Amino acid sequence: MSELTLGREPAGIVARSASDLYRAVWRWHFYAGLLVLPFMITLALTGALYLFKDEIDGIIHSDLKRVEIQEGVTKAAPSQMVAAALTANPGTAVKFTDPASPDSSAEVTVETSDQGKLAVYVDPYSGKVLGTLPDRGTVMWTIRYLHSLKYFGSFTRALIEIAGGWSILLVGTGIYLWWPRRQTGGVLSVRGTPRRRVFWRDTHAVTGVFVGFFIVFLAITGMPWSGVWGAKVNDWVNGNNYGYPNGVWTGVPMSDEHANHVAQMSWSLEQAKVPQSPAQDGQPVGLDEAVATFEKLGLHKGYAVNLPADASGVYTGSVFPDDLASQRVVHLDQYTGKPLIDVSYADYGPFAKAIEWGISVHMGQQFGLVNQLVLLAVCIAIVMLAVSAGIMWWKRRPSGSLGVPPQPGDNRVFRGLLAILLVGGLIFPLVGISLVIMLALDWTYSRIRGPRTA
């Protein structure tokens, strides 16, 4: 007669169940790493550099971006600097960027017929043109585009969402695999030497558990730039598709142009539409008066002024410094010089504020040098994770095999894992699609390899 068990399973069944669950988690941790680690290495390297964008650009482009401070000298008027830029590079001036500090140059963006947009750097003390680059042609803009995969087409924004979702899965499964199970090492310490696989296993596990939180944070705060999730959430956050908080734009005539098409905007204002200057019989106030108004309004130094493109256009002053509280966008009537819309970080809704805060921390801005150094350490750790994973896999990989971790004996253990994957797929649609594809590939691979999967 078989033994009757009440409220517990026989020890052998429990052990097999735990082993099968471990195998299932390990298998999907392997798949997640296979998909994500190449992206994570690229993102970590470019992200580490971009944390110090101002410092690096200031060194590499010092001949264009840095000027000698001249005490007691009256600076050239913005209109004079624009005129000098146009003399050197004939075209249409579209933007004037105020010097961010006393030793910084001014920047005039010029639309030319044969070279596209150019960034013309001007000494604000002498009004002399220092040199020219393609618009957004600095080294750090190149690094930023590499980081966002923008050079590889618009579809790569979808890859950011997929990589972000799988990174979260990678951390979750990694913590389960790391979780102490009576071992005496490999939890917070590293055993062995680089000649042994256990050294790389422990290096990978210990590093991962220390930086796992940061990987999840960076993945989530990077999602606003993703193709599907980021765009849909942006629409939802901005509700009425104007982007401005309720009441800010009421009674102001609006164009059909989105703000991010005419000026660099924060994520929360990308959908904001640009107001129009009401028709007037008088003459436009001009750039000098517009800049004087922005100064009186207290815009943070280094603000950009986008010039009116036509008779109904506006002067748009925008600035997004490291200090979130100083973020601001102001649109001026080009005929009266009066503010039509004035919005700052304090005007954002709670969700938009949270996203902007996350983006600021993600970019190493919110907490100054500490923020930069902490994320630099995280980027180095991510590269170490990828390298240790590759070495560990190579050491354990059977000859002639991909080395996929073994399939669990009881496929029912996948139910809980699949439920988690399903929830993640519903939140991040592209991640969900990629999960379905991976499930199908895994099923096919298992049928082809059979018992040799281990």
3-state secondary structure (DSSP) of residue 88: helix
Average pLDDT, integer, range 267-274: 79
- Tell which wins on pLDDT, 30 or 3: 30
Q: Identify the CA nearest to 91 among candidates 100, 83, 99.
A: 83
> How sure is the predictor about 119, in pLDDT bands with cuts at 50, 70 and 90?
very high
The residue count of the chain comes to 454
CA distances from 401 to 13, 37, 454 (A): 30, 20, 9
**What's the half-sphere exposure (Cβ side, CA atoms, 13 Å) at 258?**
16
> How sure is the predictor about 420, in pLDDT bands with cuts at 50, 70 and 90?
low
> How sure is the predictor about 25, in pLDDT bands with cuts at 50, 70 and 90?
confident
pLDDT of residue 163: 85
pLDDT tens readout for residues 121-143: 999 999 999 999 999 999 999 99
Q: Cβ atoms within 10 A of the Cβ of 286, count? A: 15
pLDDT averaged over the chain? 84
> How sure is the predictor about 36, in pLDDT bands with cuts at 50, 70 and 90?
confident
Q: Which residues contact 175 (CB under 8 A, 6 or more apart)?
A: 208, 209, 212
Q: Identify the CA nearest to 402 among candidates 442, 440, 437, 439.
A: 442
**What's the half-sphere exposure (Cβ side, CA atoms, 13 Å) at 259?**
29
Q: Cβ atoms within 10 A of the Cβ of 89, count? A: 18
What is the rounded distance in angstroms from the CA atom of residue 179 to the CA atom of residue 176? Answer: 5
Average pLDDT, integer, range 289-317: 95
Average pLDDT, integer, range 287-300: 97
Average pLDDT, integer, range 356-385: 95
**What's the half-sphere exposure (Cβ side, CA atoms, 13 Å) at 315?**
25
> How sure is the predictor about 239, in pLDDT bands with cuts at 50, 70 and 90?
low
Average pLDDT, integer, range 379-389: 94
pLDDT of residue 349: 83
pLDDT value at 5 more than 90: no
Instruction: Give the DSSP H/E element, type plus range, for residue 92.
Output: strand 92-97
The interaxial angle of helices 156-178 and 229-238, nearest 10 deg, is: 100
* Helix runs in 148-196, H state only: 156-178
CA distances from 362 to 48, 80, 230, 267, 291 (A): 11, 38, 15, 13, 31
**pTM of the entire predicted model:** 0.85
The CA radius of gyration of the chain, in Å to the nearest whole number, is 28
Q: DSSP characters for 235-301?
A: HHHHTTTT-SPTTSSTTS-EEEEEHHHHS---GGGTTPEEE-PPP-SS----HHHHHHHHHHHTPPT
Average pLDDT, integer, range 29-47: 89
pLDDT tens readout for residues 174-197: 888 888 877 766 778 888 788 888
Looking up tokens 């209109």, which residue turns up?
79
What is the rounded distance in angstroms from the CA atom of residue 338 to the CA atom of residue 274? Answer: 15
pLDDT of residue 66: 96
Ordered by start, the domain boundaries in the chain are: 28-51+150-226+368-453, 68-137, 246-347
Q: How many helices (H) and strands (E) does the chain have?
A: 14, 10
pLDDT value at 14 more than 50: no
pLDDT of residue 152: 77
pLDDT of residue 1: 40
Average pLDDT, integer, range 149-157: 76
The interaxial angle of helices 11-50 and 414-427, nearest 10 deg, is: 30
Contact present, 174 and 208 (Cβ < 8 Å): yes
pLDDT value at 19 more than 60: yes
pLDDT value at 16 more than 60: no
Q: Which amino acid is at 358?
A: G
What is the rounded distance in angstroms from the CA atom of residue 428 to the CA atom of residue 221? Answer: 13
Going by the DSSP 8-state scheme, the letter that residue 101 receives in this structure is S
* CATH entry 3.10.450.40 includes domain 68-137: yes
pLDDT tens readout for residues 61-116: 999 999 999 998 999 999 999 999 999 999 999 999 999 999 999 999 999 999 99
Contact present, 150 and 160 (Cβ < 8 Å): no
Average pLDDT, integer, range 47-66: 96
pLDDT value at 229 more than 70: yes
Contact present, 333 and 312 (Cβ < 8 Å): no
CA angle 197, 199, 202 (to 5 degrees): 110
> How sure is the predictor about 410, in pLDDT bands with cuts at 50, 70 and 90?
low
pLDDT value at 233 more than 80: no
pLDDT of residue 286: 95
